[in-house]
Amino acid sequence: MVKLKPVETQERLYVRVAKQIAEHIQSGQVKTGDKLPSERDLAEMLQVSRPSVREAMIALEVSGLIEVRTGSGIYVAEPKSDSPVTDEGIGPFEILEMRSLIEPELCALAAERISDDQLNELRNLFNELIRTKGTSEMEAYDSQFHNLIASACENTAIAKTVSWLWLLRGQSELSRGYHQLILNEGVYPIVDEHEEIFKALEARDPDAARLAMRTHLESATSAAAKHFLE
């Protein structure tokens, strides 16, 4: 593959990454069927984070410029049109990174403040996650589960921030499309991880709640990233 240059960070980074790779593909410097370097190698060449590379790969996949073959790698696709790489909104790994920064701490706070009624409601939502395990129905209960924990903090700013992050996942074409893709590959919320979160909240243990939420979001990020792994 032609040598790639480090990407400057003056605008949305994943779009700049995607455009640089797209230019090499559209100019013919990289041919149909060629395998791109691994996520790690691309991040090193471009001097950006691996999540930024993932977002760029999603944009390129949405544009039809690459084909991700899970377990094999990322390949240049047969050109279908001169589809430009545009800013399709906030990407799924950006949202997951933001959630990973705030949800463990809010979960610890919720463990101190959650009411008995909220615990009962959370238990009912957890039971619905069990009932709908492995189906698309889980998504609605997953959202309600996390939003209820945020509400239990008794802090409107926290509750609205978490609600906004879940709204972004549905409103962003980039995030929505990728999320549907991994659902089709069988990546669903993990019930056991939600159980650990619920148990920690039920015990009103802030440290356990923080750890359970952090573990859950790290697992969700790793599961979402498997689409790109060889």
What residues does each domain of the chain span?
13-76, 92-225
Alpha-carbon Rg for the chain, nearest whole angstrom, is: 20
CA–CA separation, 123 and 125 (whole Å): 5
For residue 225, which amino acid is it? Answer: A
132: which 2 tokens?
Answer: 């709908």
Q: How far apart are the first and last CA of the chain?
A: 18
Residue of higher predicted confidence among 190 and 169: 190
Q: Which CATH architecture has domain 13-76?
A: Orthogonal Bundle (1.10)
Beta-carbon contacts of residue 213 (< 8 Å; ≥ 6 apart)? 103, 104, 107, 108, 149, 197
The band of 86, judged by pLDDT with boundaries at 50, 70 and 90, is: low
For the domain made up of 92-225, the CATH class stated in words is: mainly alpha
Chain mean pLDDT for the chain: 87
**E-assigned strand segments in the chain:** 66-69, 73-76
pLDDT at 2 over 60: no
pTM for this prediction: 0.77
- Give the CB-side neighbour count of residue 59, counting CA atoms within 13 A: 27
Asked if pLDDT for residue 145 goes beyond 80, the answer is yes
Q: Check: CB of residue 52 under 8 Å from CB of residue 17.
A: yes
- Distance, CA of 114 to CA of 109 (rounded, Å): 9
